[in-house]
Chains A and B, each alone.
Chain A
Amino acid sequence: MMPVGSSVPHDSAVRHVSGAALYIDDLPEPRDLLHAYIRLSEHAHARVTRLDTTAVAAMPGVAAVMSAGDVPGVNDVGPAFPGDPIFADGLVEYHGQSLFAVAADSIALARQAAMAAVVEYEPLPAILTIDDALAAAFYVLPSQTMERGDAAAALAGAPHRLSGRVDVGGQEHFYLEGQVAMAIPTEGGEMLVHSSTQHPTEVQHLVARSLKLPDHAVICETRRMGGGFGGKESQASLIAVVAALLAQRTGRPVKLRLDRDDDMVLTGKRHDFRIDYDVGFGDDGLIHGIDFMFAGRCGMSPDLSGAINDRAMFHADNCYFLENARIVSHRCKTHTVSNTAFRGFGGPQGMMAIEYAIDEIARYLGVDPLAVRKRNFYGTTDRNVTPYRMTVEDNIVHELVDTLARTSDYAGRRADVAAFNAANRWVKRGLALTPLKFGISFTLTHMNQAGALVHVYTDGSVRLNHGGTEMGQGLYIKVAQVVAAEFGIAVDRVKITATTTDKVPNTSPTAASSGADLNGMAARAAARTIRERMASVLGVAPEDAVFADGRVTGGGKDMTFAELARAAHRARVSLSSTGYYSTPKLIYDAATLTGRPFFYFAYGAAVAEVEVDTLTGEYRTRRVDILHDCGASLNPAIDIGQIEGGFVQGMGWLTSEELWWDSAGRLRTHAPSTYKIPTSRDVPADFRVALFDGGPNREDTIYRSKAVGEPPLMLGIAVFHALKDAVAATGDGTTPRFDSPATPERVLMAIEAQRRKAGV
């Protein structure tokens, strides 16, 4: 089996199914381990007039209590900007904010003790909604505007014009493993932190900064996460830092694991958005001009909201050429939890905006939305410049959508749905095809770099380390496949090791779908360095040594990989190397929001068919067809897994997953009993997923593959639009404003509005 391009199982699959894969809470507990608990604020916005922890410290089993004044270094874990206090310092800005932490002999004792504190507040007026924040111009970061052409003039001159608003809900990550860290003090005042994080380097740096240690005195290690989805990019830091602070204070190891409710209340989620659109178009549905206002709810601090809202703007075009576009983005501050990275990172909200506007155009014109979509697709040689001035050089959306429309029998099923709806009064079906184009690269250009460390041992086995983290996405096995392919050995000869900041330093987060692209290239660079040295031992030029099937041949010699490794060692040639990669071609000006922020684009499309009970608003997804572009896939099984999982997560975001805050700013959906992610029954029995055979990535990525982590989430938008289509079928073919998530309640209320409009 060729290591690259084959469906090698996840490296931990056997351990997953036998319970032998260790997550941080499963690690053998060190002697004298303490358990930490964070006490959360009970107001959305208030001055803390009294915080008396005397009684806490006096409780049995308590080893330490720490609040804002006890932090030796900086009391802030903001990843890009300050604003995320470790412990509130006299002011709380969301319900559930960290006030102080306790370390005790057990989690039960720590929790009990924490509740013994006296906390008094002076409540302040709270801004809880996007509308309130907009009205007060209350922002965490300055507003941004992206413009191309003259949107105002195009709108004024367009034959047709529609404007409206749609609200897009947020989303809880619901990684199955909650946030957790274990900090272990080591000799010389150093700190080893096991953290369930997508960003070990940032955890290392923030632990060092808060403990007032140099970076070199802190190691952060991450073997695996039980899911991340962006929720452990910046949000893991607070947990790790609090554990480390208490460990430093007590000189004992400290574990901090949030229970599900505290996790959901304390940590950030996907930004909900208000989207206002004003679009002008011709009789054929071609968009002449468009004006978007995006208002993203950032919560109480900037966190990563700048880049997230930027990415929403970068995806307001999706697959469509917007010759005259103006996109204004407000980064709203509210007294709610600070929203954060979540698979897609603002892109999904931007895509929802344009897809919604296009659907409205089609319904206004009375034509199939797919026709309007296709009418507006980017061209391949012209009409191919984005609102941020990047030329789309790799457009494959035409072939991809045409193929999917054919394989899914879109046209035939459109007729079937119409016939069904004509014959059924109370049950209606809906059908939609939505495409996606997603920009691959961190828009913060300097983050597009990675490092790796590869050792070859004299028995020919290989030990691999790199800066990427494993959260289930299969990054570790993909990079191991790359290294195995470079050395021409079997994948199981490559030992995968935990990500740790003392092996590969100064890494970027495993985010932006970049894990395999960046770390695969870095690991390949390391392997190639070693390979070149091994070729020299063979006495041939690097290109004349063939590494294949566990053997190396060249210069008339033929030996096993292990034999050559031994020979290299005897010849005093190093068998260890680092590898480094930085993404080429990126030129981007953050001040003007123009340039080439992305190395390339990933594409995909989905067709969804739903059936709605128009008396209750309940619905089922009958069938979904997906065609997705992974370039030359490194591992088709892993990529299919990302596509299916991403689609279902996106479907959940837009259907059953509803975050609900009460009027006091308390999140009331903070556990799976109230927050409903899809279950197996929600996945259509007829679910057809295929990789698009669109050829290798035209850019020189790792084995010409394409990133796959985030893009498939946006395939779920098809389900939302199929529901909108079914709602339209209950009336005159249009719909009232239809916000997401499209819960049965929203579906029914939209249908009832249609009925009232039609007078039935």
Chain B
Amino acid sequence: MREAISFLLDDRAVTVSGLSPTTTVLDYLRTVLKLTGTKEGCAEGDCGACTVMLGEPDATGWRYKAVNACILFVPALDGKRLLTVEHLRGRDGGAHPVQRAMVDRHASQCGFCTPGFVMSLTVLHESGTRPSRAEIDEALAGNLCRCTGYRPIVDAAVDAMAVERAVAGAEAPAVVGSLAYRADEAVYLAPRSVAELDEAVGHNPGAVLVAGGTDLGLVVTKQHRALPALIALEGVAEIAGVAETDDTIAIGAAATYETALPILERHYPSLGAMMRRIGSRQIRNRGTVGGNIANASPIGDMPPALLALDASLVLRGGGRERVVKLDAFFTGYRQTVLGPGEFILRIDVPRPTPDVRLHCYKVAKRFDQDISAVCGAFRLVLDGGIVRSIRIGFGGMAATPARARLTEAALLGEAWTEATVRRAMDALDADFSPLSDMRASAGYRRTVARNLLLKLFVEVGP
């Protein structure tokens, strides 16, 4: 077991000890390393000014991800390679192609967001693809610019992608085994196997699990609360991926959105399209489906679809496992059936049969990177114009993500007609009594939720 954090800063091996484990990478860069090119714009992962490039070693070298340094804890760098705007250069030793294109296209004005855009685009550049405008927008959804109106940045992205990749390789640090990092009266454990995870949870009953930390980071940066014991799931290989069997998609609790997205999208395109709007690329590179569920937020975007799909959770605690249906998991506002020392190990999602349609709708003030006012998901099976099966999950309509059971009942076994759907819309009023807040009024939530049923009918057709 290792007690110090080891990572590569560009191509230089760095070892960290004695630093509080909840120090953010952004603070570490700016105040310890004095690398001030990376900026703080919001300290909550919503503006992208702090975007850095994180390399994870794989068989071919490094797999790069754009991440928000402002909500990433330093121990998460362990075994990885960190690149900031100061480390970029082109093959000729001058500016990196992305940097050059940004200058040539007049893509900076005040310049404060610029390093973050440069890093997001450099990661895209390293993918070696020729992205479409939509793909560029997706890569930039987590970067806010208040000056330019984005057009020159998008143009710079297009220009840069025509130039060959430029980030030089570096030898991965020989980091093996789990991490047990202690400093400043706090502990950060990064087990490497489920067995080690069991042990870590067993020995640290009050510890908080880090499944990406894109929400947890805000406990430190916004609520300024201490987190004395953290256990990170990301190194637990058995649960970091997504496995498919004949009838199930098994999503490990440590699988990020970006890991799960292509597989879920292949089976459920509408779910994939919705997932591309969750957070931003930076958030999806760290955030996990498991974390989104365990968080038990009423406005999480994965639960409605997973409720509609009748997903099951495999919970583990004290070395024992049990299976709970997702629709029995949430017990109240931010409350779940998880017992002490129990955690989500895996999410099992049924694969679709050919007659299954899934339609997901995320309604928010802004298309990208916005928390839903209402999120609705509908799993529908029609048979000869009759509703054979219907499951509906909603977020933003109640204290927990929830099924619309009365609405389901109003549809089940009925003829799939606009009249049926309009009756079901009335049933929805009985299912939910949403609240008014800064995202939406109760009236809008109710109206739009009703209309989503109609939208489903319009999209599916009579």
- CB-nearest residue of chain B to A672: B46
Check if A421 is an interface residue, CB within 8 A of chain B: no
- CB-nearest residue of chain B to A225: B110
In the assembled complex, which residues on chain A have CB atoms less than 8 Å from the CB atom of B86? 18-19
Chain-A contact segment, one of B151-159, B237-245, B259-267, B398-406: B151-159
Q: Which of B133-186 contact A (CB under 8 A)?
A: 133-134, 136-138, 140-141, 143-154
Chain-A contact segment, one of B56-64, B301-309, B345-353, B360-368: B360-368
Check if B438 is an interface residue, CB within 8 A of chain A: yes
A648 and B149 contacting across the interface, CB-CB below 8 Å: yes
Check if B49 is an interface residue, CB within 8 A of chain A: yes
How far, in whole Å, are A474 and B111 apart by their CA atoms in the complex? 11
B443 vs chain A, min Cβ distance (A): 7
Given contacts A225-B110, A260-B43, contact A681 B224 (CB under 8 A): no
Q: How would residues 7 to 36 of chain A score, 1 for a CB under 8 Å from any chain B CB and 0 otherwise?
A: 101101111111111110110100000000
B110 and A175 contacting across the interface, CB-CB below 8 Å: yes
B39 and A18 contacting across the interface, CB-CB below 8 Å: no
A272 vs chain B, min Cβ distance (A): 15
Given contacts A19-B86, A679-B144, contact A745 B111 (CB under 8 A): no
A19 and B115 contacting across the interface, CB-CB below 8 Å: yes
How far, in whole Å, are A260 and B41 apart by their CA atoms in the complex? 7
A474 and B109 contacting across the interface, CB-CB below 8 Å: yes
B149 and A683 contacting across the interface, CB-CB below 8 Å: yes
Check if B441 is an interface residue, CB within 8 A of chain A: yes
Given contacts A426-B458, A641-B147, contact A16 B42 (CB under 8 A): no
In the assembled complex, which residues on chain B have CB atoms less than 8 Å from the CB atom of A669? 438
A177 and B224 contacting across the interface, CB-CB below 8 Å: no
Check if A644 is an interface residue, CB within 8 A of chain B: yes
Q: How would residues 32 to 63 of chain B score, 1 for a CB under 8 Å from any chain A CB and 0 otherwise?
A: 00111111111110110100000000000000
Residue from A111, A637, A673 within 8 A of B44 (CB atoms): A673
In the assembled complex, which residues on chain A have CB atoms less than 8 Å from the CB atom of B37? 18-20
Check if A591 is an interface residue, CB within 8 A of chain B: no
B455 and A176 contacting across the interface, CB-CB below 8 Å: no
B195 vs chain A, min Cβ distance (A): 37
A: contact size bracket: 35 or more
How far, in whole Å, are A173 and B112 apart by their CA atoms in the complex? 14
Chain-B contact segment, one of A83-91, A389-397, A615-623: A615-623
A227 and B148 contacting across the interface, CB-CB below 8 Å: no
- CB-nearest residue of chain B to A680: B150
A226 and B448 contacting across the interface, CB-CB below 8 Å: no
- CB-nearest residue of chain B to A668: B438
B110 and A616 contacting across the interface, CB-CB below 8 Å: no
How far, in whole Å, are A206 and B145 apart by their CA atoms in the complex? 31
In the assembled complex, which residues on chain A have CB atoms less than 8 Å from the CB atom of B367? 618, 620, 679, 681-682
In the assembled complex, which residues on chain A have CB atoms less than 8 Å from the CB atom of B387? none
Given contacts A227-B110, A673-B371, contact A656 B365 (CB under 8 A): yes
In the assembled complex, which residues on chain A have CB atoms less than 8 Å from the CB atom of B84? 19
In the assembled complex, which residues on chain B have CB atoms less than 8 Å from the CB atom of A226? 39, 110-113
B439 and A674 contacting across the interface, CB-CB below 8 Å: yes
B452 and A615 contacting across the interface, CB-CB below 8 Å: yes
B376 vs chain A, min Cβ distance (A): 10
Check if A545 is an interface residue, CB within 8 A of chain B: no
B370 and A22 contacting across the interface, CB-CB below 8 Å: no
B151 and A687 contacting across the interface, CB-CB below 8 Å: yes
In the assembled complex, which residues on chain B have CB atoms less than 8 Å from the CB atom of A474? 109
A672 and B44 contacting across the interface, CB-CB below 8 Å: yes
- CB-nearest residue of chain B to A21: B111
Q: How would residues 587 to 631 of chain A score, 1 for a CB under 8 Å from any chain B CB and 0 otherwise?
A: 000000000000000000000000001011110100000000000
Check if A461 is an interface residue, CB within 8 A of chain B: no
Q: Which of B424-455 contact A (CB under 8 A)?
A: 437-441, 443-444, 447-448, 451-452, 454-455
B108 vs chain A, min Cβ distance (A): 4
How far, in whole Å, are A28 and B31 apart by their CA atoms in the complex? 10
In the assembled complex, which residues on chain A have CB atoms less than 8 Å from the CB atom of B36? 19, 22, 25-26
How far, in whole Å, are A202 and B210 apart by their CA atoms in the complex? 47
B224 and A108 contacting across the interface, CB-CB below 8 Å: yes
B: contact size bracket: 35 or more
Check if B296 is an interface residue, CB within 8 A of chain A: no
A266 vs chain B, min Cβ distance (A): 15
Check if B95 is an interface residue, CB within 8 A of chain A: yes
B371 and A745 contacting across the interface, CB-CB below 8 Å: no
B362 vs chain A, min Cβ distance (A): 10
How far, in whole Å, are A743 and B439 apart by their CA atoms in the complex? 10
In the assembled complex, which residues on chain A have CB atoms less than 8 Å from the CB atom of B143? 679-680
Check if A676 is an interface residue, CB within 8 A of chain B: yes
A681 and B44 contacting across the interface, CB-CB below 8 Å: no
How far, in whole Å, are A474 and B458 apart by their CA atoms in the complex? 49
A655 vs chain B, min Cβ distance (A): 8
Chain-A contact segment, one of B98-106, B247-255, B325-333, B377-385: B98-106
Check if A724 is an interface residue, CB within 8 A of chain B: no
- CB-nearest residue of chain B to A658: B365
Residue from A177, A259, A645, A674 within 8 A of B148 (CB atoms): A645
Give the interface SS of chain A, mostly helix, strand, loop or mixed: loop
B106 and A13 contacting across the interface, CB-CB below 8 Å: yes
Check if A649 is an interface residue, CB within 8 A of chain B: yes
Check if A505 is an interface residue, CB within 8 A of chain B: no
How far, in whole Å, are A224 and B108 apart by their CA atoms in the complex? 13
Check if A473 is an interface residue, CB within 8 A of chain B: yes
A84 vs chain B, min Cβ distance (A): 25
Check if B118 is an interface residue, CB within 8 A of chain A: yes
Residue from B44, B85, B138, B146 within 8 A of A176 (CB atoms): B146
> Which one of A426, A472, A662, A668 has the highest number of Cβ atoms from chain B below 10 Å of its Cβ?
A472
In the assembled complex, which residues on chain B have CB atoms less than 8 Å from the CB atom of A646? 149
Residue from A174, A426, A645, A745 within 8 A of B109 (CB atoms): A645
A745 and B444 contacting across the interface, CB-CB below 8 Å: yes
- CB-nearest residue of chain A to B222: A261
A17 and B224 contacting across the interface, CB-CB below 8 Å: no
In the assembled complex, which residues on chain B have CB atoms less than 8 Å from the CB atom of A2? none
Q: How would residues 191 to 227 of chain A score, 1 for a CB under 8 Å from any chain B CB and 0 otherwise?
A: 0000000000000000000000000000000001111
How far, in whole Å, are A261 and B458 apart by their CA atoms in the complex? 42
- CB-nearest residue of chain B to A681: B137
Check if A559 is an interface residue, CB within 8 A of chain B: no
Check if B271 is an interface residue, CB within 8 A of chain A: no
Given contacts A22-B36, A176-B39, A259-B43, contact A660 B370 (CB under 8 A): no
A325 vs chain B, min Cβ distance (A): 34
In the assembled complex, which residues on chain B have CB atoms less than 8 Å from the CB atom of A426? 455, 458
How far, in whole Å, are A270 and B114 apart by their CA atoms in the complex? 25
Residue from A12, A228, A644 within 8 A of B111 (CB atoms): A12
Check if A239 is an interface residue, CB within 8 A of chain B: no
B446 vs chain A, min Cβ distance (A): 11
A685 vs chain B, min Cβ distance (A): 5
Check if A647 is an interface residue, CB within 8 A of chain B: yes
How far, in whole Å, are A569 and B132 apart by their CA atoms in the complex? 59
In the assembled complex, which residues on chain A have CB atoms less than 8 Å from the CB atom of B111? 10, 12-13, 15-16, 21, 224, 226, 472
Given contacts A226-B112, A615-B458, contact A748 B444 (CB under 8 A): yes
**Given A13-B111, A673-B46, 20 other A-B residues pairs in contact with their CB atoms under 8 A:** A17-B103, A19-B115, A20-B37, A26-B30, A177-B110, A224-B110, A229-B146, A472-B147, A615-B448, A637-B106, A640-B106, A645-B147, A645-B148, A660-B437, A679-B143, A679-B366, A680-B141, A681-B137, A744-B448, A749-B444
Closest 10 CB pairs of A and B: A19-B37, A472-B110, A226-B112, A16-B111, A472-B109, A648-B149, A644-B149, A26-B36, A672-B46, A19-B85
The 26 sampled A-B contact pairs (Cβ below 8 Å) are: A7-B106, A13-B106, A14-B99, A23-B39, A111-B224, A176-B145, A176-B146, A224-B110, A259-B43, A471-B110, A472-B112, A618-B363, A644-B149, A645-B146, A649-B149, A658-B365, A672-B41, A673-B371, A678-B149, A680-B145, A683-B149, A689-B151, A745-B440, A745-B448, A748-B447, A749-B443
B residues whose Cβ falls under 8 Å from a Cβ of A: 30, 34-44, 46-47, 49, 84-86, 88, 95, 98-99, 102-104, 106, 108-115, 118, 133-134, 136-138, 140-141, 143-154, 222, 224, 361, 363-371, 373, 437-441, 443-444, 447-448, 451-452, 454-455, 458
